[in-house]
A and B are shown apart, each in its own frame.
Chain A
Amino acid sequence: MLAFIVSSIRLGMAFLFGSTGETITEKSGHLNLGIPGVMCVGASCGCFAEYLYLSEVGPDANYFLAVLIPIIATVIGGAVMGFIFSFLTVTLRANQNVTGLALTTFGVGVSDYMIAETGPVYSKGSRFFTMTFPFAEDLGWFGEIFFSHGILIYLAIIIALVSSYILTKTRVGLNLRSVGENPATADAAGINVSRYRYASTCIGCAIAGLGGLSFIMDYLNGNWEYCIDAIGWLAIALVIFTVWKPSLAIIGSVIFGGLYIASSYITGVSFASKELFKMLPYVVTIVVLVFTSIRDKRENQPPQSLGLSYFREER
């Protein structure tokens, strides 16, 4: 049971990165379906940077550098993907759905190439990411659950909390939300709609990219053998599941993680029905959608101009 909870948390945090990033993006009115691709690219950049660093310095790698370099590489990789998305949708006015799906296809291709090129050799780097508090073991189950994780797990929670605070409590967050709700109003109020959309998409993608890194380096212990776009789709589902609230997503992500791996911890489940179990997160997302639609509370609805491009047209 304990192992199940710990695994849920470790997997969940990969979702949390993705959904926090996507929430920030969606709050600006951008529906970025490229998140799975962004996570693939983020993970690829991070892993490749780690690979280069470790092959350079050999065994005497510094902990901070071994962690910091891949994180920075991931953030840059994600942000570049976000920039491509914004450039296509804001500047060139391409359709957001099509652009997003194209980015996903692209990202999956990049990561497949990475796997084929370098092989699953990231376990060396992975140990830096799973390094944890030395006192965790002394605290029993409490330590297991709360202090036995690597740095990315805590980073995910901090980013989610900070994002939540910025979105709800600051002027920047207010402006950002107004851009996603009603860009014409925001524009009339003197807010630079394009700048906000660019910024939120790039930042959102940078954060989402970390989800890919977290999944490979932490949850898989560096054994990257298959494509990870599934966690990207789950991250998008998580955004809906948690009604666009990053703070709720902290709990939601652990639930998603748990549901996703539940089949492995229940005995006597056939291989085929394991795959059925993996559908559970999507099922609960649909249930949540049904409930929020029935209750029809405006605060729980997606940003009003989600997926719509904004042109000022006349002025």
Chain B
Amino acid sequence: MSETSAIELRNISKYFGGKAANKNVSLSINRGEILSILGENGSGKTTLMNMIAGIYFPDEGQIFIDGKEVVIRSPRDAFKYKIGMIHQHFKLVDVFSATENIILGIDKKEKFDHKAAANKVKEISERYGFDIDPMKKIHEMSVSEKQTVEIIKVLYRGADILILDEPTAVLTPQETQKLFNVLRKMRDDGKSIIIITHKLHEVLSLSDKVAVLRKGEYIGTVLTATTDESQLTEMMVGKKVSLNIERGDPKNCEERLVVRNLNCVDREGVKILNNVSFTARSGEILGIAGIAGSGQRELLEAIAGLQKVNEGEIVYNNPKTGESDNLRDKTPMQIRDLGVRLSFVPEDRLGMGLVGNMDIIDNMMLRSYRKGHSVFLERKGPRYLAEKIIKDLEVVTPDAKTPVRRLSGGNIQKILVGREIAASPTVLMAAYPVRGLDIGASYTIYNLLNAQKEKGVAVIFVGEDLDVLIELCDRIIVIGSGSITGTVDARTATKEEIGLLMTKSVEQGGEA
């Protein structure tokens, strides 16, 4: 281990549209060391790493490599400084072999020789204990094999500093162990490894140092040997912030939606929901907390009938008829007609729910097009509704005929949520409804949800911000890696408590 750091960041800041994604971050890593970057969603981990990898350019601050200041403007520059990043989403060509992917884009005068390159790949994999067939096509590979190809790709280019963005998110526990063994071997070989994760137990078992980020701000670096889970959790979630959301007590609680032992498997056969059971009551806001991608989306989609359920049941107690229906056997259309409404705000708000090129009125009609009685469109009702939403929710738009695409994110979300609420649902599911909104717009949405709760609707709220969850919800279930890791009363729960439940490991969740 040398004295100067392999890479050092000093006071790095990055702003997106005036909002700080990273603020005054300073960290350093030596040769032969593993550094974990820990933080909640949106704490700026990936942004920070992208700046080292040349995908973003820092607005302020300096980067030093081996004690010398450098400027990294593109991924190509990063390669030059022997930095390699393994992204969360693999960048591989499906129909190419592992070797072809690895040598892709390398400018060499030498002749293109598939076999020679394959031998070199084999050599690298043997050195670090990878298990891979260099001639195998990517589309025949498992997720963990693909990740291996990504790692070899950066090693092949001679990277000394490796950045891994949530490498274990897609791996089984066994594969994770295998990866960790490889990473330890690389560390012993003198490489510097930066790993982004939010799984505490992994941090503790793998890394030498931990750097913690919270909402873009750098909290501090601690040596793994001198810390424990509770200290890291506290650093991660911070102290409680008061938001003053008005919260009424739940009234007339009835069991509206009972989910029992729900199991789902994704296309690759990986379990995404594992024995999930919970009850959503009327007149109550049920919060769902968890790291992004822990199965929240699939859970809501399963209820809405959009996700195939492998096992378990979803019982809906109909308040009008008093009957109980199992939603599992129903089509999405039938489920919607029962009054179960999903308002999902995905990363790209327009992807699900609204059509960007259509105006507000037409978007209202997407939900009511079946109501018409003639071949011609019935525009009056939707127009009235559109105008009501614009007025009630203070949507900023030139008029109701403006294409939704032209509105700002917050206004789009208001329209989406407003439309779902207008259908007077009995169950309202809102996933990340305030994502990307400013404070004022967020409060509008909170008030809307609270108003629905008053009316006796069972509201299910999936959120990211723990402060909001604690202030807005009545009960919070915490989901981790597809299993429910705990249920807490929002009035008494602390952020630390929820934070710990969120990062609880998979093994505790069941047979996984």
Contacts and interface: CB of A to CB of B under 8 A. Distances in A.
A186 B55 CA distance: 15
B269 interface: no
Interface string A179-206: 0011011101111000000000000000
Given A298-B137, A315-B55, A184 B104 contact: no
Given A174-B100, A298-B139, A188 B75 contact: yes
A149 interface: no
The 6 closest A-B pairs by CB, nearest first: A189-B105, A171-B112, A185-B91, A190-B105, A181-B93, A189-B104
Nearest to A170: B112
Given A174-B104, A315-B55, 20 more contacts: A171-B103, A171-B112, A174-B112, A175-B105, A181-B93, A181-B95, A181-B96, A182-B92, A182-B93, A182-B94, A185-B93, A186-B93, A188-B91, A189-B105, A189-B106, A190-B75, A190-B105, A298-B137, A301-B95, A315-B56
B96 A177 contact: yes
B239 interface: no
A189 B106 CA distance: 8
Contacts of B55: 315
A178 interface: yes
Given A169-B112, A174-B112, A190-B76, A299 B105 contact: no
Contacts of B76: 190
A57 B79 CA distance: 59
Nearest to B91: A185
A170 B75 CA distance: 24
Nearest to A303: B95
Contacts of B105: 175, 178, 186, 189-191
Contacts of A299: 95, 137
Interface string B44-77: 0000000000011000000000000000000110
A252 to B, nearest CB: 21
Contacts of B79: 190
Contacts of A309: none
A169 B105 CA distance: 15
B120 to A, nearest CB: 15
Contacts of A182: 91-94
A298 B104 contact: no
Contacts of B107: 190
A283 B312 CA distance: 48
Interface of A: 169-171, 174-175, 177-178, 181-182, 184-186, 188-191, 298-299, 301, 304, 315
Indicate the member of A178, A189, A190, A304 with the most B CB atoms within 10 Å.
A189
B111 to A, nearest CB: 8
A178 B96 contact: yes
Nearest to B90: A185
A308 to B, nearest CB: 14
Contact of A191 (B56, B94, B104): B104
Interface residues of B, number: 22
20 contacts: A170-B112, A171-B103, A174-B96, A174-B104, A175-B104, A178-B93, A178-B96, A181-B96, A182-B91, A182-B93, A184-B91, A185-B104, A186-B104, A186-B105, A190-B75, A190-B105, A191-B104, A298-B137, A299-B95, A315-B56
A140 to B, nearest CB: 43
A170 B298 CA distance: 44
Nearest to A179: B93
B294 to A, nearest CB: 26
A188 B100 CA distance: 15
B494 to A, nearest CB: 37
A62 to B, nearest CB: 39
A212 B118 CA distance: 42
A170 B108 CA distance: 12
Contacts of A184: 91
A186 B96 CA distance: 12
B84 to A, nearest CB: 11
A79 B223 CA distance: 62
B439 to A, nearest CB: 26
Interface in B79-128: 79, 91-96, 100-101, 103-108, 112
A138 B104 CA distance: 51
A298 B95 contact: yes
Nearest to B139: A298
Interface in B131-182: 137, 139
Given A174-B104, A190-B76, A298-B139, A304 B112 contact: no
Contact of A185 (B92, B103, B112, B139): B92
Contacts of A185: 91-93, 101, 104
Interface centre among B55, B75, B103, B104 (most CB of A within 10 A): B104
Contacts of A188: 75, 91
Interface-central residue, B91, B93, B137, by most chain A CB under 10 Å: B93
A200 to B, nearest CB: 16
Contact of A298 (B56, B92, B94, B103): B94
* A170, A178, A184, A191 pick with most chain B CB within 10 angstroms: A178
Contacts of A315: 55-56
B390 to A, nearest CB: 30
B377 to A, nearest CB: 27
B112 A177 contact: no
A243 B96 CA distance: 16
A170 B104 CA distance: 11
B91 A304 contact: no
A177 B101 CA distance: 11
A315 B53 CA distance: 11
A301 B94 CA distance: 11
B387 to A, nearest CB: 34
Contact of B94 (A170, A190, A304): A304
A181 B75 CA distance: 20
A181 B94 contact: yes
A174 B112 CA distance: 9
B113 to A, nearest CB: 10
A57 B306 CA distance: 74
